[in-house]
Amino acid sequence: MAIEKAPSTEKQDSPSASKDVVHLEAAGQQDEAEAERAEELERGGKSERKVKLKIDFFILPLLASIYFLAQMGRSDLGNAKVAGLDEDLNLTPDMYSNVAAIFYVGYLLFQLPGTLLLRKIGPANQFSAAMIGWGVVTVCTVKASAYGHMMAIRFLVGVTEAFIQGSILYLSFWYRYNELATRGAIIYSTSALAGSFNGILSYGVQRDLGGRNGWTAWQWIFFVEGLIPIIWAFAVLALLPSTPERVRFGFSEAEKKQIMTRSRASHNTGDGTIRPKLIIKLLLDPKFWMTTAINCGNHFCSNALQNFIPALLHESMGYTELQSQLMSVIVYAVTFVGILASCYTSDRLRLRGVVIMFDSALACVGLVLLLTITNNAGRFVAACITTAGVYPIVVICLTWTATNHPGYTYRASAAALINVFSQAVAIAGNKSYNDPPYYRKGLGASLGMVAMCGIVAGFLDWHLKRLNDKKRREQHTPEAEALRQMSIDEIGNKHPDFFFRY
């Protein structure tokens, strides 16, 4: 009997089944490749975070300390006034205003060379030499016995401090655009801490050292605050990294390469060549003048307040000299929080103009209250509101300037010149506070200038958006292709692949 072969139960491979298998294998390989890329990106992200934290560790504390001491050297005049400087040297209100203002003359005259030379001299060398310079001059204030002496000394303090004002430019060597405002806030918020520390130090000096060794309290204030930067300058010289291209210690070779990649992403080339033609182009750029207008309006108010806050507390609110020194600590503590909060928000949301508009509005509210309220407690709260609104604008405006002016000459010139013009306006700001005890003329002028900051910031925000839209539309035109053959160092923000931050 023939046995019938049972039909096979094995399923034969069909062409369509083979294709499915190939497709699944390809999909599996693609998923595996994507997983590898994701893992690589995660490793890169972790590596970048580690590098960024190390940069923060090496740079931010030292740079913050430099700016902290510089702000102490700048604002100690206000505390010395409360401690009797103007009475001992027979300074009238106009004379004191001139002494406060002359600082900015020296400051603005040397700001441009001090910033442009930053790469040539090296940040560690330049910053430490400047600290020794203003420390020595401040100590010499002890021997001042006349109005002319104070004018000469404060001018020289301004000259030496001009050489540490490239801090935002220095930060731009190391950080990406969306990291700058927060880091700048950490540096510049020390101006508020310096004001607080000055108040505490001046209180202690006035209480415990006034009259010792034949020196008055204000002489001791200048001596102590001049000695500190001289000593600390040597730590800065030894520890501060100069530029990403010249990292001396603390980073592996792989980390140094990553630092260079980060630096290039922010349009840094490591080339310290100064191109005078770009300085001329900068001065013909309306966008530069708009950011300058914002900074000028803000400096008119902020720089005057740092010299007159203790006087406002003492003369118009009725606090004693010692109470005024302590109350100024609270004002600057609130300011410190305001700077950090505003700048963190600016980086987090990647918004500059909008945050400046908000801060301007806040400062205007504070100034209106200072002008209209007679109650001491209300005026004190108004002073806190004013400084919390005014001071963050400095940082955000400077980082906005740095991000929108790529290339070394363009960025360094913009960073320097915006401060030059702002300090010139600050002289007028200090001069306007000459009607004690309420200083209504100065406060009224400050109100108008800060309101202008908000208006110009809103217009610039809108204007930059329009320019970006225009660049996108013209990406493939012959003109754009021709410009693309040149480097960003050569043509700055005219480059078709550079887009403005707003």
List pLDDT tens digits, range 338-380: 999 999 999 899 999 999 999 999 999 999 999 999 888 898 9
What's the mean pLDDT in 134-156? 94
Q: What is the DSSP letter of 352?
A: S
d(CA 127, CA 121) in angstroms, rounded, equals: 10
pLDDT of residue 460: 97
Instruction: Judge contact between 196 and 333, C-beta under 8 A.
Output: yes
| H or E element in which residue 375 lies | none
pLDDT above 60 (res 32): no
pTM recorded for the entire structure: 0.74
The answer to whether position 317 is within a domain reads yes
Q: Which amino acid is at 178?
A: N
pLDDT of residue 393: 94
pLDDT above 60 (res 228): yes
Q: What percent of the chain has pLDDT over 90?
A: 35
Q: What is the DSSP letter of 267?
A: T
What's the mean pLDDT in 157-174? 88
pLDDT of residue 382: 93
What's the mean pLDDT in 371-397? 91
Say which CATH number the domain at 357 has.
Answer: 1.20.1250.20
Which of 135-144, 201-210, 383-392, 438-447 is the least confident region? 201-210
Residue 127 exposure: Cα atoms within 13 Å on the Cβ side: 30
Condensed to tens digits (0 to 9), the pLDDT of residues 317-329 reads 878 777 776 788 8
pLDDT of residue 31: 42
The answer to whether position 247 is within a domain reads no
pLDDT band at 12 (very low <50, low <70, confident <90, very high): very low
The overall average pLDDT reported for the chain is 83
The per-residue DSSP string of 389-405 comes to HHHHHHHHHHHHHHHTS
pLDDT above 90 (res 333): no
pLDDT band at 28 (very low <50, low <70, confident <90, very high): very low
Of 102-116, 265-279, 386-400, the range with the highest mean pLDDT is 386-400
The answer to whether position 487 is within a domain reads yes
Is the bond preceding residue 276 a cis peptide, omega within 30 degrees?
no
- Between 423 and 360, the more confident residue is 360
pLDDT above 90 (res 116): no
pLDDT band at 500 (very low <50, low <70, confident <90, very high): very high
- Between 205 and 21, the more confident residue is 205
pLDDT of residue 238: 92
Residue 422 exposure: Cα atoms within 13 Å on the Cβ side: 32
pLDDT band at 44 (very low <50, low <70, confident <90, very high): low
The answer to whether position 249 is within a domain reads no
The answer to whether position 338 is within a domain reads yes
Which of 103-107, 143-147, 303-307, 462-466 is the least confident region? 303-307
The answer to whether position 253 is within a domain reads no
What's the mean pLDDT in 416-427? 86
Question: Is 424 buried (19+), middle (13-18) or exposed (0-12) by CB count in 10 A?
Answer: middle
pLDDT above 50 (res 223): yes
The boundaries of the domain holding residue 320 are: 54-238+272-494
The answer to whether position 248 is within a domain reads no
pLDDT above 70 (res 58): yes
Which of 220-229, 472-481, 482-491 is the least confident region? 482-491
The answer to whether position 366 is within a domain reads yes
The phi and psi torsions of 243 (rounded to 5 degrees) equal -140, 165
What's the mean pLDDT in 101-119? 87
The per-residue DSSP string of 276-344 comes to HHHHHHHHT-HHHHHHHHHHHHHHHHHHHHHHHHHHIIIIIS---HHHHHHHHHHHHHHHHHHHHHHHH
pLDDT of residue 42: 45
pLDDT band at 269 (very low <50, low <70, confident <90, very high): low
pLDDT of residue 50: 86
The angle that helices 93-109 and 408-432 make with each other, rounded to 10 degrees, is: 170
Domain count, the chain: 1
Instruction: Judge contact between 325 and 206, C-beta under 8 A.
Output: yes
pLDDT above 60 (res 33): no
